[in-house]
Amino acid sequence: MTQPLELPNIDETTPITEILARNAQLYGSDVCLVELSPEEDDEKRRITWKDFDLVEPPRAGQGARRSTTWQKFDELANRFANLLLSRGLKKGDKVAILLMNSLEWLPVYFGALKAGAIAVPMNFRYAADEIQYCLELAEVDYLVFGPEFIGRVESICDRLDRVRALFFLGDVCPTFAEPLHNLTTYASPEPPDVKLTADDHAAIYFSSGTTGFPKAILHAHRSLTSSCFTEQNHHSQTRRDVFLCIPPLYHTGAKMHWFGSFLVGGKAVLLRGVKPQTILHAVSEERCTIVWLLVPWAQDILDAIESGEVALNDYILSQWRLMHIGAQPVPPSLIKRWKKYFPMHEYDTNYGLSESIGPGCVHLGVENIHKVGAIGKPGYRWQARILDENKQDVVQGEVGELAVKGPGVMLEYYRDPDATAATLSSDGWLYTGDMACMDEDGFIYLVDRKKDVIITGGENLYPVQIEDFLRRHDDIKDVAVIGLPDPRLGEIAAAIVELKPDRHTTEEQLVQFCAELPRYKRPRKFIFADVPRNPTGKIEKPKLREIYCGKSLVATQIER
C-alpha cells in the first residue's frame, strides 16, 4: 500500500523553499518551466546544465525550446545547495547570480536558498566595475555566472578578495572559474539538512539605479512567500494557467509575478525575445493564459497590428485571459487601444518597488478597468498613505509622498543604516519616494518620482503627467520629460520624444498639440531622440540628465 505523502503546511510563514519541495512531491512529472529562444541563432546557443530531461531539437525557424519538470527543478536546486554546503557555506553567506534568463536561473536561486544562503541576483547589463561594486556592497561569498559574462568577470576576478568560488554555468569553462555542471553531477540530489524559518534572510536585490548607484535591499523568506500569496490573490492563478515571463529574472517584478503560479504549481514560459511576433507566437504555441508586459512591448504589439505587420488570426489567442503591466505608469490611451483588439482580456496594473518585494503593494484590480490611469488601491494585506513633508496625511486629492506598509517590506538597505532610517519608519512604513494623490474613491494616482519633480518658477511640475499627455499624440512612441537648468526659472521642462517608425512630426506641431496643457506645464524644449529604458522598463532619467543637462542642445526652445 502506497504511503501518503508528508507535505508541509504552506502558509505565509513558510520558507519559500518548501513550496518547491511540495510542488515536486505533488506534481513531480509535470512540466513547470519552458525556455524559448526564438530570436537566437541556435548554432550559437550554448546549453548549460545538461541534466534537463526534456531538451527538444530546434524547430525550423523557431529556435530552441527546452523544458523541465518540478522533480528535476527541485533535484537540481538540492544538488547546488549540497555543493555549496560541501564548500563550507554557512547560513547567511551570499551567493550572487549573474545569468541571462534560462532554465538554470531558478534552480540556482532556489539552491542558494535551500543551503541557507542569501541569494543575490545581478543585473545582466552591469559593466565589470558595477559587478565588482555590487559584489563588494553585498559582501558576496560565491558567484555563479554564464558565458555572456566571461570577459567582465575575468577583468575583475583578481580583485574579488572576498569571493571564495567562481562557478561557471556553460560548456567551456574559463581557467579562472570552476565548471558548475561537473561539480553538481556528484552532489547529492536529496534535500539539504538546513532548517529555515520565515524570518531568515533570503535575498538581496539591487535597486534599479534610476536615482543613482544601486542600493542593496535585504529581504527575509517571509517577504518572498508573502509575494506568492499576494500575486495569487490578485490574479487567481490555478494550475491550468500558463504564465509568460519575458522580463529579467534578476528583478523582483518578473519573478514575483511568477510566484503566483509557483504557489499553485502552474507552468511558466521563459521567453528570450520581445518582438511582437515572438510574444504572440509564444502565447499561441504554449497556450499562455497570463502575460505580463512592459509599456514599450505592449505599444510595439499594437503598432505591429495597426501597421499590418501582425495578423491576429495567425495565432491561437483565445486562452489568453489576463494582460497586466507594471514597473511604470501606464497611459490610459494604451489600454483603450489594447481593449480595441483584445476586448475579452482582463487588465490589471501593478505598482511596487524592490523595497516592497516587487509588484502588488498597490494594484488596480481586474474589476476596476474603469479607473485606468490609477495605480489602484493597497494590495492584499497591504496599507498605503499619502504624506506631506512632515509625514502627516495630506488632504484627499492633494499630492504627497506615497508610503506603504505590509508583509513584503524590506528589512533594510544592507550596510546602509542612514538610507534605511530615511526610508523606513520605526513602525514599518516604507517611504517610496513616489509622489501620488488619491481620489474620492480611494484610488491612488502616481504623479512622479519625488526626485524627478521639476520646479520651474516656483511651480512644481510632475513629468509623468506631461508624458501621459504627450503619449496621446499618434506619432509618439515614447517620451521622457526632464528638468534642465535655466538661469531665470531655475529649471524648465524638456521633452525627449521618440517617434514611431516612419512618422514625422515637427517641434511646431508638438507646441500646438501641447496648447491644451496649462501654460506652465508645457515643455519649453523638444528633443527628438530615443528614450532609454532599463530592462525593467523604467526610463533612465539620470542617463538623460547626463546627456542633456549643461550641454548645448540642438532643440527648439519655446518662449512662453
Q: Where are the domains of the chain?
A: 17-235, 453-557
Distance between CA atoms of 296 and 299, rounded to whole angstroms? 5
Task: Check if the beta carbon of residue 297 is closer than 8 Å to that of residue 246.
Answer: yes
Query: How far is CA 235 from each of CA 251, 259, 342, rounded to the nearest angstrom?
Result: 20, 11, 18
Task: Check if the beta carbon of residue 132 is closer than 8 Å to that of residue 162.
Answer: no
**Phi-psi category of 462—alpha, beta or left, where left has phi over 0 and alpha has psi -120 to 50?**
beta
pLDDT by residue (tens digit) across 344-394? 999 999 888 899 998 889 999 999 999 988 999 999 999 999 999 999 999
Reported confidence tier of residue 465, pLDDT bands at 50, 70, 90: confident
Number of Cβ within 10 Å of residue 503's Cβ equals 11
Burial 409-443 (b: 16+ CB within 10 A, else e): bbbbbbebeeebeebbeeeebbbbbbbbbbeeeeb
What is the share, in percent, of the chain residues with pLDDT greater than 70? Answer: 88
Task: Check if the beta carbon of residue 310 is closer than 8 Å to that of residue 301.
Answer: yes
pLDDT for the residue numbered 60: 45
E strands in 366-407: 377-378, 383-387, 400-405
| pTM of the full structure | 0.82
* Torsion angles phi and psi, residue 110, rounded to 5: -70, -30
* The three three-digit cell numbers of residue 306, written as one number: 495597426
Q: Is the pLDDT of residue 450 over 80?
A: no
Report the CATH number of the 17-235 domain. 3.40.50.12780
* The three three-digit cell numbers of residue 484, written as one number: 534642465
pLDDT by residue (tens digit) across 399-424? 899 999 999 999 999 999 999 999 99
Choose among 380, 427, 419: nearest CA to 403. 427
> Helix/strand/coil (H, E, C) string of 285-315?
HHCCCEEEECHHHHHHHHHHHHHCCCCHHHC
pLDDT by residue (tens digit) across 123-139? 888 889 889 999 999 99
Distance between CA atoms of 130 and 138, rounded to whole angstroms? 12
Choose among 18, 19, 536: nearest CA to 260. 19
Fold for domain 453-557? GMP Synthetase; Chain A, domain 3 (3.30.300)
Q: Is 538 helix (H, G, I), strand (E, B) or coil?
A: coil
Q: Rounding to the nearest 10 degrees, give the CA dihedral for residues 124, 298, 300, 44.
A: 30
| DSSP string for residues in 45-62 | --------SEEPPPBTTT
